[in-house]
């Protein structure tokens, strides 16, 4: 598994979030952009609606699948949940780092017993939580510190990388070094709207700051021409790879 950001092909870095209400819409969108994006992300909405078969149907398009289930439970339950995915063609799976190191280790053991090419990613902190929410849920310190601490724990537990916001990516890359995936949502090309994302970055800046992968949803899925929008974002990734800041 290649986790050196400089060595990953531009297309492989582009993950499209298939945040669609059902299989029909998701597969239509996926078909349109399957030659441009490197991975399709199936989230809770689509997975719970359609069941595991949606993963197989998306994978049949010949593009890797990222299953974004954000698992968070006791270690034995999370390990068994990972084992339950046996046979499904999944390249990335998310778990919550807040579940602690034992939970992450149990998930990593389960994943490696399934398929060594399955990369487990730790969700560091939901971007919907801001520091002003911390006291209410018993969290302390700054969000940067928390994300950094959880990312280090994820690496210690044997995870392949973490999901974090663009705000943290530079510090994270410095702390974890190379060889660890940093997967960044909240990506907006310059001049595009924010939608509900609070901490956004352009594709070029996220890559320059050390992201290995970008998760993009609405800038492609809500575009009048998803194929053209995906190609434009791919060009921005290529530009950032060609001309590092
Ligand atoms: O449409 P947009 O580009 O904002 O979609 C971003 C995708 O990344 C969505 O699937 C969203 O659930 C996901 N995501 C996020 N923030 C996180 C984790 C995942 O926006 N912290």
Name the pLDDT band for 118 (thresholds 50, 70, 90).
very high
**166 CB under 6 A from ligand 1?**
no
- The whole-number pLDDT of residue 140 equals 92
**What's the mean pLDDT in 136-157?**
95
What is the structure's pLDDT at 4? 62
- How do residues 188-229 score in pLDDT, each as one tens digit? 999 888 887 777 899 999 999 999 999 999 999 999 999 999
Q: What is the mean pLDDT of the chain?
A: 94
Whether the CB of 241 sits within 6 Å of ligand 1: no
What integer pLDDT is reported at residue 117 of this predicted model? 85
Ligand 1 lined by 97 (C-beta under 6 Å): no
Single out the residue of 16, 4, 47 nearest to residue 187, CA to CA. 16
pLDDT tier at 5, thresholds 50, 70, 90? low
User: Hey, where are the domains in the chain?
Assistant: 5-242
Q: Which of 44, 185, 200, 226 to mutate for ligand 1's pocket (most ligand atoms within 8 Å of CB)?
A: 185
Residue 81 CA to ligand 1 center (angstroms) comes to 23
pLDDT band at 143 (very low <50, low <70, confident <90, very high): very high
CATH of 5-242, one of 3.60.20.10, 3.20.20.70, 3.40.50.970, 3.90.79.10: 3.20.20.70
pLDDT value of position 231:
98
**Alpha carbon nearest to ligand 1 atom 8, residue:** 185
pTM of the model: 0.95
The reported pLDDT for the residue numbered 193 is 81
Q: Per residue in 81-98, pLDDT tens?
A: 999 999 999 999 999 999
Q: Report residue 125's pLDDT band, with 50, 70 and 90 as the boundaries.
A: very high
């Amino acid at each position: 598994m290649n986790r050196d950001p400089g060595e990953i092909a531009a297309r492989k870095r582009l993950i499209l979030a298939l945040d669609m209400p059902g299989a029909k819409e998701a597969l239509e969108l996926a078909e349109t952009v399957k030659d441009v994006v490197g991975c399709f992300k199936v989230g809770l909405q689509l997975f719970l609606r359609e069941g595991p078969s949606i993963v197989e149907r998306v994978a049949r398009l010949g593009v890797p699948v990222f299953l974004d289930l954000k698992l968070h439970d006791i270690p034995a339950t999370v390990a068994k949940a990972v084992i339950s995915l046996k046979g499904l063609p999944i390249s990335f799976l998310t778990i919550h780092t807040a579940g602690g190191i034992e939970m992450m280790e149990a998930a990593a053991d389960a994943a490696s017993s399934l398929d060594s090419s399955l990369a487990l990613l730790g969700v560091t902190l939901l971007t919907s939580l801001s520091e002003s929410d911390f006291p209410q849920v018993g969290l302390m310190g700054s969000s940067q510190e928390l994300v950094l601490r959880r990312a280090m724990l994820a690496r210690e537990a044997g995870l392949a990388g973490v999901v974090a916001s663009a705000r943290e990516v530079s510090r994270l890359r410095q702390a974890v070094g190379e060889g660890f995936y940093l997967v960044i949502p909240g990506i907006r090309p310059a001049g595009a709207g924010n939608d509900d994302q609070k901490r956004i970055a352009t594709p070029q800046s996220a890559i320059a700051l050390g992201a290995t992968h970008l998760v993009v949803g609405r800038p492609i899925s809500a575009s009048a021409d998803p194929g053209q929008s995906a190609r434009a974002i791919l060009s921005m990734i290529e530009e950032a790879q060609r001309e590092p800041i």
